[in-house]
């Protein structure tokens, strides 16, 4: 069933913002859906909170094993406007899906860094960018605390990041610089926010959603942030449209791509590969002859360093000796060791059918560990 068909029949369509026990908090689309409703049902329009319905999942969906996750577009039936209840009758096909955190239909990642305090560290920024790129989603790079640097310094940072293939948006939560521009980029999208600790993510969320404390307080007690967060996933409504999922702060995301994948996560390398080819299809762009990627681009050293890391990681996995890897050692008989996959490790099973989006799940996992 497509969205058009559903809208034609004037059913209620909405987006799942949170899942709590067996209930789904659904925000109904703001327009169009009232047309088919009879008189007396319009009370919803007069109440400021009424487009939020607490819904159950129809038995039919349970029977066919249809899960409902945060970010899902759903068809709601039997709205009770007074009690703010409803029932989810159908789930529209997902554009994409992250398993951890469980969010469907994510459009982009908003990566937040600060230009100062904490200082902008190129390698750390690269690491986050690569991790974000590996999801295959669009990446919006936002640099906060621009109030702490001069225009000249900002121009220099901007030049570097342009060389890297990005168009950063410089903001200051303190001075309300470019917050509206950023809000515009988030409009009509489902965005997942990420970035290291101390760059101003909480401050930014408060600036983007002025009533968030109130709202969050109403719904989930408090906006859990930092290392000791629950795994509760929630999408927050942005006042001008769009939904934002917050992530806890973390400092060094682990790069777990293969050596072969790495170049694709550098826009500079992608640009080079778009116009030329390496002699070898499995070129790692180090010292191979006729390499189209190797060169004096600014982050080439980052590439080499991360490549070493990826190679080391891979050989570690190949040796099957890393206890943190997906392999466990099983002691057999007289002290003989045998390696076998840890079957309880979801990570292991995901590896074999990994999509780029699943990289993001790991980004979350690291942030929680």
Residues 290-349 that bind Zn ion (CB under 5 A): 291, 293
Q: Which is nearer to ligand GTP, 74 or 115 (CB)?
A: 115
Helix (H, G, I), strand (E, B) or coil at 169: strand
What's the token pair of residue 212?
Answer: 């968030």
Binding region for ligand GTP (CB under 6 A) out of 144-152, 252-260, 280-288, 359-367: 144-152
Cα angle 63, 66, 70; round to 5: 140
- Reference 269, options 303, 234, 305, 316; nearest CA is 303
The response to whether 198 counts as a known ligand-binding position is yes
87, 142, 255, 283: which one contacts Zn ion (CB under 5 A)?
A: 283
145 contributes a contact to ligand GTP by CB under 6 A: yes
CA distance 138 to 132: 8
| Non-local CB neighbours of 250 within 8 Å, separated by 6+ positions | 196, 197, 366, 367
The binding track of 261-280 with respect to Zn ion, each residue x by CB under 5 A or -, is -----------------x--
Residue 293, contacted partner among Zn ion, ligand GTP, none, CB below 5-8 A by kind: Zn ion
The least distance separating ligand GTP from the CB of residue 261, rounded to whole angstroms, comes to 28
169 contributes a contact to ligand GTP by CB under 6 A: no
The least distance separating Zn ion from the CB of residue 180, rounded to whole angstroms, comes to 42
For 100, other C-beta atoms within 10 Å of its C-beta total 18
C-alpha separations of 328 from 78, 316, 320, 351, 366 in Å? 51, 13, 8, 16, 20
Q: Which residues of 171-210 are buried (b: 16+ CB within 10 A; e: fewer)?
A: bbbeeebbbeebbebbeebbbbbbbbeebbbbebbebbbe
| Count of chain residues binding Zn ion (CB under 5 A) | 5
The response to whether 86 counts as a known ligand-binding position is no
Residue 23, contacted partner among ligand GTP, Zn ion, none, CB below 5-8 A by kind: none
166, 174, 300, 348: which one contacts ligand GTP (CB under 6 A)?
A: 174
- Reference 139, options 286, 296, 265, 275; nearest CA is 265
The least distance separating ligand GTP from the CB of residue 205, rounded to whole angstroms, comes to 8
The least distance separating ligand GTP from the CB of residue 202, rounded to whole angstroms, comes to 3
The response to whether 91 counts as a known ligand-binding position is no
CA torsion sign for 197, 218, 84, 67 is positive
CA distance 118 to 300: 24
Match 């967060």 to its residue by tokens.
229
Cβ atoms of residues 208 and 122 within 8 Å: no
198 contributes a contact to ligand GTP by CB under 6 A: yes
The binding track of 231-270 with respect to ligand GTP, each residue x by CB under 6 A or -, is ------------------x---------------------
Binding residues for Zn(2+): 278, 283, 285, 291
Binding region for ligand GTP (CB under 6 A): 144-145, 147-148, 172-174, 197-203, 225-226, 249
Binding region for Zn ion (CB under 5 A): 278, 283, 285, 291, 293
Binding residues for GTP: 144-147, 195-203
């Amino acid at each position: 069933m497509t969205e058009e068909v559903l809208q034609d029949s004037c059913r209620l369509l909405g987006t799942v913002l949170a899942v709590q026990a067996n209930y789904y908090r659904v925000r109904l689309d703001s327009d169009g859906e009232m047309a088919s409703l009879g008189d007396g049902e319009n009370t919803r329009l007069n109440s400021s909170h009424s487009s939020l319905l607490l819904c159950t999942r129809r038995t039919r969906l349970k029977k066919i094993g249809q899960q409902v996750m945060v970010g899902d577009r759903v068809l709601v039936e039997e709205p009770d406007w007074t009690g703010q209840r409803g029932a989810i009758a159908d789930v529209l096909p997902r554009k994409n899906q992250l398993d951890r955190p469980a969010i469907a239909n994510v459009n982009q990642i908003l990566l937040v860094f600060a230009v100062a305090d904490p200082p902008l560290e190129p390698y750390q920024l690269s690491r986050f960018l690569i991790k974000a790129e590996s999801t295959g989603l669009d990446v919006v790079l936002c640099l906060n605390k621009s109030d702490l640097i001069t225009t000249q310094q900002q121009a220099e940072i901007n030049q570097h990041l342009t060389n890297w293939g990005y168009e950063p948006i410089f903001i200051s939560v303190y001075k309300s610089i470019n917050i509206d521009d950023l809000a515009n980029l988030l409009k009509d999208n489902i965005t997942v926010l990420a970035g290291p600790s101390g760059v101003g993510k909480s401050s930014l969320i408060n600036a983007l959603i002025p009533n968030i404390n109130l709202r969050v307080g109403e719904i989930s007690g408090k906006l859990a942030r930092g290392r000791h967060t629950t795994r509760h996933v929630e999408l927050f409504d942005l006042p001008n449209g769009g939904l934002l999922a917050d992530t806890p702060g973390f400092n060094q995301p682990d790069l777990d791509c293969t050596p072969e994948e790495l170049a694709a996560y550098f826009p500079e390398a992608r640009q080079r590969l778009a116009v030329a080819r390496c002699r070898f299809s499995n070129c790692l762009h180090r010292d191979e002859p006729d390499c189209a990627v190797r060169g004096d681009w600014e982050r080439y050293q980052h590439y080499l360093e991360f490549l070493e890391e990826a190679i080391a990681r891979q050989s570690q996995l190949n040796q099957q000796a890393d206890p943190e890897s997906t392999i466990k050692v099983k002691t057999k008989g007289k002290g003989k060791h045998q390696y076998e996959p840890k079957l309880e490790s979801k990570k292991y099973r995901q590896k074999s059918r990994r999509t780029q989006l699943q990289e993001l799940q790991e980004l979350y996992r690291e942030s929680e560990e």
